[in-house]
Structure 1
Amino acid sequence: MVHRLEPLVIRHVHRLPTPAGPAGEGAVAARQFDAALMSVGFKLSAELLTRLSGLSEHTVVDTAVRTLGTVREMVGDHVRHNVYFIDFPANVPDTYDFWMRCVAEALTDDAARPGVLEQLSEGVVNLLTLPSYGRYQHTYAEMLGHHEELIAAAGDRLTVLHGGAEAEAEVTALYLALAGSTTPLGEDTLRDLEVLAEACVDGPQPEVIPVRENRAVINRARLRAGSEPLLDTVTDVLRLACALSGGDVTLLEPTRFRGLSRPVRRVLLAGLDSVVAAAPAKLADVHAHREEWKRLGERLHPHEHPQWPHAADVFAVARGEKRARSFDSLVEELLGMHDITGAVKLLKSAPGKLFRVLDRLLRMALTQEERDAVVSAAEEVVPQVAGRVVLSVREHLHNRAGDTGERRVFVNRLGSAWVTGDTRPPVLPAERERLIAALDAELRRRLAAPGHLLIDPDVLDVALPLSGKAVSSGLGVLPRGSVSPVDGELLRFFVYWKQKSRDTDYDLSALMLDADYQTVSWLSYTNLGELEGEHSGDITEAPDGASEFINLRLGAVRGTFVVPQVNLYSGEGFEDVEESFFGFMLREGEQQGRPFEARTVRMKSELRGPGRVALPLAFRRGADGRWSAKWLHLYLKGSPTANQVEGNQVSVATLLRGIVEREQLTIRYLTGLMDATTTTLWDGKTVPDGPVTYIGLQRPDGLHPDSRVVTPENMRDLIPA
C-alpha cells in the first residue's frame, strides 16, 4: 500500500518518503541513483543523499527503481518520442518539395499507384492516402543514431527531490493538505484525493473541508469504511450519491446512478432527513439540480421509508409537488422591482452570494444612497466571505477601472473560453476604491505573519491559484494568467498522444503574432519551415503513440507573440485518447541532443479538455527583448474535424488579447499584504541561517528545518480561509 501511494507524494510535494529498510553501505548505490536522476533533470538533495547512503544497497536500489519510474513519467520521458524527419531539426525539407516526394514515392508503389493516378487526374491529391505520409519511416533506435549526445548546460532544469518523513506520515500529510484545501482541486488532483481518502479513512482528518467536491470523495470513503458521512446540505447528499456511482461530484456532467444497496440507501435518506429537519429552508437548494434529484429518487425509493418524511420532501420539491422558494428567486424578485436596498438587506444573510453580485448591484444602483448601502453591506459581511471569493472580487474590481468597450473573456470550469465586448457601465471610482480598500484590509488581517519572508523573484508574477479546475496537472505548470521568465536560445514544443481505439491525428502548430495581434507567420504540417524554426513532420495515427515537435530560434522570431496550439484533426478527443500531453524545452544553441531530452523540459502538462483546439500557454517578447510565458490552459471548441492553425488564427488572436490585457492578482500582490519582519529577494545562492517563510518556484537546498516552504505544488495554501 505504501509503495503504491509513494508516487503521489513525489508528484505533489517533490519529497521522497524515508525508505523502510535496514542500515548498510548504500553510498555507491545512492550516488548512482543521483546520477540517474540527473539524466532526466532531477537530483537528490544533499540531506537525502546522505540519508540514503546509510541504508542497505538493496533498499537504495529498490527505491531508485520506483522513483525513477515516477519522475520519468512526470517529465514525459516514460514514452519514446520519435520524429517523422529523422534528422530534425536539421534537414527538414521544403513543404511543397516534401509533398511532391511523397507523391513520387506513391507512384512507385504498385498498390498505391492506381489510386494516386486517379486523384492526379482530378487535380487534387489527399496526402493521407500516400503510403509514406504521416507514418514513421524509421524506428526509434534508427532515429537515435542520427543525433549526437546532449551537451550539459548550466541552464538545464534540475528539480531537487528532498527527504521526507516515513511514508505513512507523508501520505497522511498530503491527504490532509488536499482534503483541507481552500480552493477547488483539478480533476487529476481530485482523483488522487479519492485514492488518499480510501487509504487514510481511519487516520487523522482535517478540521474543516471547505470545498464540497472534496467532501464528497471523503464521504464515499467514510461510508465504505462504515463511518457516518459529513453532511450539512442536501447537495452534499447528491454529491455523495454521484461519487458512489462513479459520477461527477462537481455536478457539471450528469451521473448515471447505479443501483445502491439497502444499507447505503438508508444512510443517504437518513442524512437527507436530518439536514432538512435541522434547516427546512435548505429544501430550496433542490431547485438547482431538480433533474438529478428525480433520477436519484428512482434509486433511493423514499416512499418505502416513512420514518424519514423530511427526505421525502426533497423529492417532492424536485417533482414540483411541494413548494420551496429559493433564496435566489427572492433576490431576483426584489431586483425586478428595483428594490436595491431590500435586496442588499436580504443578501447580507448570504455573504458569499452578496459578493458574487456586487458588480450587478452597483450597476443597478441609481442613487448615492443605494450605492452606499451596497458598499456598507460588503464592508460589514466581508469577514464571513471565503478567502478565494474575496480575492476573486478584488481581482474583478481591479479590472473594472477602464472604460466600457473592452473585451470580456469567459472561461468555464472545463477550460472552454470565449470572448465578447464589455458593454457594462463602469463601477464608479469612489465605490470601487472604497471596496478595494476594505478587501485589502480584510485579506491583510487574515494572512498569518510570515516572519522572515524569503521570495524567489521569478515567482512574483505567478497568478494566485484561486481554483485548480481547468488547470492541467504536470511538471512546472502554473495557474492561468501567470507570467514566468523564459531564458534560452532555442524553444522547442512537443506533443505526445496515444490513441485508444481509432486512428487519431493531432497537429502541433505555432502561430506568430505582432504587437497588434496580427499574424506574422506560423509553423505547422502545412508550413514545415520558416525563418523562426522547423516542424518535425506530420504524424496521422498513433496506435503505439506519436510525437510532434516545433523548434524555434527565439532570436529569429518576427513579432511579439508565439502561440503554440494542438489541433485535433481527426479521431479521438483530448479526453478520449489513452494518453496525451504537451510541453516545452529550452536549450542553448550548441547543445545538440535528441529531439526530446528530459533534462531540458521546463513544462509538461496533460491535455485533458473539452474542446478540439488546445492552447496551453503563449510566449511574449518584452520591450527589453526578453521572453516570458503567459499561462492560458484554454480549449477552443473548434470544428468537428480538420482543425488547422490557418483556420483559427483570428479566434486565437482575439482570445489572447483578452487574456493578456487582463491583470491577475499575483504572488507580488499577496506578499505585499503580509506583515513580514524582514523581506528578502533570494539571490539563488545563499539562504538565511534561521527559519524563513520561503515562496518560490522550487525549494532551495539548505533551508532551516523549521522553515515554511511554499512552491507551486502547495501554493494553494497561501489562499486564506
Structure 2
Amino acid sequence: MVHALEHLVVRHTHRLPSPTGPAGDGAAATRRFDAALMTAGFKLSGELVERLSGLAGPTVVRTAVRTLATVRELVGDHVRHNVYFVDFPDNVPDTLDFWRECVAEALADDATRARTVEQLSAGVLDLLTLPSYGRYRHTYEEMLAVHDELIAAAGDRLTVLHLGADADTEVTALYLALAGSTTPLGEEHLRDLAALAGPCADGPQPETITVRESRAVVNHARLRVGAAPLLDTVTDVLRLACALAEGDVTLREPTRFRALSRPHRRALLAGLDAVVAASPAKLSDVSAHREAWKRLGERLHPHEYPHWPHAAEVFAVARGERRAPSFDSRMEELLARGDVAGAADLLASHAPGRLFRALDRLLRVAADAKEREAVLAAVERAAPEVAGRVVLSVREHVRNRAGGGDARRVFVNRAGAAWVADDTRPPLEDADRERLVALLDAETRRRLPSPRRLLIDPDVLDVALPLSGRAASAGLGVLPRGSVSPVEGELLRFFTYWREARRTTDLDLSALVLDAAYGTVTWLSYTALTDVEGRHSGDITEAPDGASEFIDLRLGAVRGTFVVPQVYVYSGEGFDEVAEGFFGFMLRDSEQRGRPFEPRTVRMKSDLRGPGKAALPLAFRRDDEGRWHAHWLHLYLRGAPSANRVEGHRVTIAVLMRALFDRTYLTVRHLVSLMEESGAETTLWDGRTVPDGPVTYIGLERPDGLAPGSRIFTPENLRDLLPA
C-alpha cells in the first residue's frame, strides 16, 4: 500500500515520505537522483538529501525511480513530444507555401494524384487527403538530433521536494486533508480520495466531512471495510448508492443503478430509515432528485423490509404519494404572497446556506427599505451557521454587484462550461452592499486563525481563493480561476498533448491576440503558422500513440494587449473521452535553445478534462507598464460538433474576455488584510532568507529552512486557509 500511494503524497504535497531501508553510503546515488530531478525542474531539499545519503545505494535508486516517474508525469515529461516541423521554432514555412508543398507532393504521388486533381478542379481541397499533411515525417529521435541542449538559466523553474514523515503518516494526513476539505474537490482529487479512503477507512477520520460528494466517497470505503456509513441527510444515502454503482456522486449526471447485494441494500435502507426517523423534515430533500430516487427504489425493494417504515416514506415522496415540500418550494410560496421577510426568516431558521445563496434575489424583490432590513437582519442571524466558503462566495458576489452600464454576466457551471449574458438585474443599494461587506468581513475575520507572524510571498497575494476545487484543473503550477500571476521571460511557449482512446482524434492548439478593446489583432493556428508574434509547430491530425502541438511567442513582439491560448476539438473524441490530454506553457530566455519541450522551463501543466469543444485554460494580459500577467480561466466553450477553429470563435472569446476582466475575484490579499486587522505581523518574503522561529507562510512554493512548528500554505493546500 505504501509505495502504491506514495505518488499521491508527492503530487499533492511536494513531500517525499521518509524513505526506509538499510543504512549505508547513499551519497553518490543521491547526487545522481538530484541531478536527474533537476532535468525535470525539481530538486531535493537539504533535509531530504541528508536522509537519502544515509541509506544504502539500492534503496536510494528504488526511491529515485518511483519519484522521477511521478514528477515527470506532473510536468508532462512522461510522454514524447514530437513536432511536425522538425526544427521548430526555426524554419517554419509560410502557411500557403506549406500547403502548396503538400499539394505538390500529392501530385507527384501516383496513389493520390487523381484524387488531388479532382479536388483542385472542383476548387475545394481537403488538406486531410494529402499524404504529407498532419502526420509526423520524422521520428522523435530524429527531431532530438537537430536541437541543441538546453542552456540552463536563472529563471528556470525549480520545485523543491521536501522530506516528509513516514509513509503511513503522510498517507493518513493527505486522506484527512482531502476528506475534511471544506471546499468541493475536483474530479481528479475525488478519485485520489477514493484511492486513499480504502486503506484509511478504519483509521483516523476527519472531525467533520462537510462536502457531501467527499462523504459519499468515504462512505463507500467504509462499507467495504464493514464500518457504518456517515449519513445525516437522505441525499447522503443517494450519493452513496451512486458510488456503489460507480456513478456520479455529484449527482450532475444520472446514474444507472445496478442490482445491489443484500448487505448493501440493508445498509442503504437502514440509513434512510434512521435519517428520516430522526428528522422527518429531511424528506423535503427528496423532490430535488425525484427521478433518481424512483430508479433506486426499483433496486432496493423497500417493501421487503417493513421494519424500516421511514425508508419507505422516501420513495412515497418520490412517487408523489406523499407531500413533503422543500424549503425552496416553501420559500417560493411565501414570495408569491409577497412575504419577503417570512421567506428570509424561514431560510435563516432552517437553511441558512440557502438564505445566503438566495440573498441577491431577496434584496431585489423586497418592496421597500423595511423588507430589505428584514432580509439583512436574517443574514446577520444566520451568518455564524453558514460555511466559510459560502460566506466568502457571497462576499465576492456582493463586490461585483455595483451594477450600472452595459454589464455582462459570466456563467460557469461546475464542469467549467462558460457562457455570457446581459446582466439585466438592477444594482443592489449601495448602503445594503456596504452593510453586507462589513458583516461578511467581520464573520470571516472571527473565524480566521490569528497567526502572530505571517511570512508572505508577494506573488501569492493575487491568487484567487479556492472557493471550489472545480475552479482549477489538476496539474503542476495550476492556480484557481480568477488568479493573476506575473510572467517573466522573453519567449512564451504553449503546448498541448493528447492521445486518442478509441477513434482518430484531431485537437488543434491556437492563440488569439486581442487589442485593448478586445478586437482581433492576429492569431496563430494551423491556418496561420507564422506571424510577427511567433510560430506554430504544425498541425497533427491523429494521435494513436500521442501527439503534441506548440506555439512559440516573443512577448516583446506581441502587438496586442491580450494573448488567449485555446485548444479545439476539430474531430474525434472530446476532452472527456481522450485517453490523455493536457495543456501547459513554458518560459525561456532568448538565448535558450533546447528541445521544443524542456520540462525545467514548464511553468504550468494542466489536464484537459471538461465539456464542450474549446478549452481556454488561461489568458495573458500586458499591463500599462508593459509587464505580462497570466489570468487563470479553466473554461470550456460548447463550440460546434466538429471543425472548430479559432477564426469561428473570435467574437465569442472577445465577449467572454471582456466580461471576465470586468469581474473582481477575492484573493489571498483579502484574507491577509483581515488577519493583519486582527493583529498579525506581516513580512514579505524576499525569496532568499527565512526568519528565525515558526511562522505562518503563504506562498507559491514552500521555502527550504522554515523553522519547525511553521504552518505552510501553498497552492497545493491553500483550501486549508479558508475558514471553516
User: Structure 1-normalised TM-score?
Assistant: 0.99
Does the 8 A contact of 1:17 with 1:165 survive in 2?
Answer: yes
Indicate the residue corresponding to 2:315 in structure 1. 315
Q: 1:253 and 1:654 mapped to 2: Cα distance?
A: 29
| Fraction of identical pairs, as percent | 73
- The verdict on how the C-alpha distance between 1:588 and 1:680 changes in structure 2, with shifts beyond 3 A counting, is same
1:695 match: 698
Structure-1 residue corresponding to 2:200: 200
Q: Distance in 1 between matches of 2:170 and 2:371?
A: 53
The SS at the match of 2:17 is strand
Deviation at 1:348? 1.4
1:130 aligns with 2:133: no
Note the alpha carbon deviations across 1:628-649, whole angstroms, 9 max, x for none: 0000000000000000000001
Equivalence for 1:119: 119
Letter in 2 for 1:150: L
Matched residue type, 1:609: G
AA matched with 1:465:
P
RMSD of aligned C-alpha atoms?
A: 0.7
Cα displacement string for residues 390-447 of structure 1 (whole angstroms, at most 9, x for unaligned residues): 0000000111123153010000000000001111111001111011101101110100
TM-score normalised per structure 2: 0.99
Match of 1:327 in 2: 327
Distance in 1, Cα, partners of 2:201 & 2:345? 42
| Contact map agreement 1:404 1:425 (CA 8 A) in 2 | no
Map 1:78-477 to 2 at 5 A: 78-349=78-349, 350-403=351-404, 405-477=406-478
Give the Cα separation in 1 of the matches to 2:475 and 2:451: 29
Deviating more after overlay: 322-331 vs 390-399: 322-331
User: In structure 1, how many angstroms separate the alpha carbons of the residues matched to 2:355 and 2:245?
Assistant: 34
Q: Kindly provide the CA deviation profile for residues 236-275 of structure 1, in whole angstroms up to 9, marking residues without a partner as x.
A: 0000000001000000001011111011101100110010
Which residue is equivalent to 2:480? 479
| Secondary structure in 2 matching 1:458 | helix
Cα offset, 1:376, TM superposition:
1.2
Aligned to 1:563: 564
**Correspondence for 2:74:** 74
> Does the CA-based 8 Å contact 1:404-1:426 persist in structure 2?
no
Cα distance in 2 for partners of 1:20, 1:335 equals 64
CA deviation string 1:346-391 (max 9, x = no partner):
1211211111111111111121111111111111211111000000
In structure 2, give the amino acid aligned to 1:709. Answer: I
Q: Distance in 2 between matches of 1:346 and 1:243?
A: 33
* Amino acid aligned to 1:684: G
Shift, 1:199, TM fit: 1.1
Query: Residue type of the partner of 1:488?
Result: G
1:574 correspondence with 2:570: no
Contact conserved, 2:83 with 2:538, CA < 8 A, in 1? yes
Tell me, yes or no, if structure 1 residue 491 matches structure 2 residue 492: yes
Q: After superposition, give the CA deviation of every residue in 1:637-668 in whole Å (9 maximum; x if it has no partner).
A: 00000000000011011111111110000000
Contact between 1:183 and 1:467, CA under 8 Å: does it hold in 2? Answer: yes
Distance 2:7 2:234 in 1: 36
1:470, distance to aligned residue in structure 2 (A):
4.8
Q: Which consecutive segments of 4 or more residues in structure 1 shift more than 4 A?
A: none
User: Secondary structure at 1:469's aligned position in 2?
Assistant: helix
**Residues 335 and 667 (structure 1), Cα distance of their counterparts in 2 relative to 1, 3 Å cut:** same
2:584 counterpart residue number: 583
Distance 2:679 2:407 in 1: 37
Aligned residue pairs total 721
Partner of 1:36: 36
Task: Kindly indicate whether the alpha-carbon contact (under 8 Å) linking 2:586 and 2:603 is maintained by their aligned counterparts in 1.
Answer: yes
The Cα of 1:536 is off from its aligned counterpart by: 0.2
Q: Is the 8 A contact 1:452 1:676 kept in 2?
A: no
Report if the CA contact (8 A) 2:403-2:426 is conserved.
no
Letter in 2 for 1:378: V
Which residue does 2:715 correspond to in 1? 712
Three-state SS of the structure 2 residue aligned to 1:652 is helix
CA distance in 2 between counterparts of 1:416 and 1:90 reads 36
Distance 1:338 1:51 in 2: 69
Deviations 1:589-614 (A, max 9, x none): 01000000000000000000011000
Q: Secondary structure at the match of 2:469?
A: coil
Does the 8 Å contact 1:269/1:308 carry over to 2? yes
Post-superposition shift, 1:677? Answer: 3.5
Deviation at 1:676, TM superposition (A): 4.3
Q: 1:192-227 deviations in whole A, cap 9, x for unaligned?
A: 000000010121111110100110000000011101
Structure 2, gaps ≥5 residues long: none
Distance 1:147 1:490 in 2: 17
Residues 348-357 or 588-597, more deviating: 348-357
Please give the alpha-carbon distance, in whole angstroms, between the structure 2 residues aligned to 1:676 and 1:221. 43
Q: Secondary structure at the match of 2:619?
A: strand
Distance in 1 (CA, whole Å) between partners of 2:190 and 2:74 is 17
Q: Which amino acid aligns with 1:392?
A: S
